[in-house]
Homo-oligomer: A and B are copies of this chain.
């Protein structure tokens, strides 16, 4: 059907513009534009003519031009710490899906938890004129790059990690309480020697100041953990809490170190699935049985955790909902222009599977918490 003619049009010629469509449909640019963007200021008849013309020309709207004059790109930016981490990965998917549902696409940039990369990412995104940005901040107290002239670079929401004193909407989970809850579960099964393996990008800094200066998730989990200990009058044993970067072998080493202590902790809380894997691996090497000699609770559920034997008890976080909420919060800012910092904190869910063993009567909460 019209092979050669079509070829001449589409092969060598530049992409058809709206004037071409208008021309073919025998109307003005404006009318064509209106018809194409579904304005109701056009007759059904002309709309049809235009649509057909567009179709036959294989017309694709030039989104750049549209964004430029409309002042909206229908694109949002996501600045994430590490997509290949199963938590952020699922959050990313939630964000992309939710955005798509609202006709937005997502420009994703990975920072590897590197502040410099984050600064760069925010700059690039704002230059690309995204309509809003979701960021997983890699530092709890550096925020210059998020503001320009005292206002956020663009509609902005923080994901997963809070930045104290920064007036920006934030979507997080209540990890502090979950850590306390984990300790309670351990205590209720008679555990009194609890360790913790903390997996974080800046393990140096974190270990140096005991989770001060760490991102809020780490901070919350560690302080929830120590709070829990206090609740039961259990001593806080610094050596039982290990910090490690995101490298399996290092994490295993840290885990082994904790498990080599004498007396050895009977229960370990880990800050994510990778850390849990490290504990398991360490136990393998040391011939300690998970759920027997070593009880385990991990933040973040993952597919393998429930298949593993014993199935791993986890703090399941509402990842998808978190991503969804972030997008929605962002869209509200975009649509309303109101950038007020409305934050939401979602609840986690402790899934008690098989990795926390009963080793004796429950420890009683202390009326005189230690320290």
Cα A97 to Cα B80 with chains together (Å) = 12
Question: Is A107 positioned at the interface, with any CB of B under 8 Å from its CB?
Answer: yes
A195: shortest Cβ distance to chain B, in Å? 19
Which residues of chain A from 36 to 68 have any CB-CB distance to chain B below 8 Å in the complex?
58, 60-65, 67-68
A50: shortest Cβ distance to chain B, in Å? 17
Question: Is A161 positioned at the interface, with any CB of B under 8 Å from its CB?
Answer: no
Cβ contacts under 8 Å, A96 to chain B: 83, 108-110
Cβ contacts under 8 Å, A68 to chain B: 62, 64-65, 68
- Give the number of chain A interface residues (Cβ < 8 Å): 56
Cα A107 to Cα B109 with chains together (Å) = 9
Number of copies: 2
Cβ contacts under 8 Å, A107 to chain B: 75, 105-108
Cα A102 to Cα B148 with chains together (Å) = 26
Cross-interface CB contact of A90 among B62, B84, B109, B307, cutoff 8 Å? B84
Cβ contacts under 8 Å, A86 to chain B: 86, 89
Question: 18 A-B Cβ contacts within 8 A?
Answer: A7-B149, A10-B148, A62-B127, A64-B64, A64-B128, A68-B68, A75-B107, A82-B93, A86-B89, A96-B109, A96-B110, A105-B125, A106-B108, A108-B108, A274-B303, A280-B307, A281-B307, A308-B308
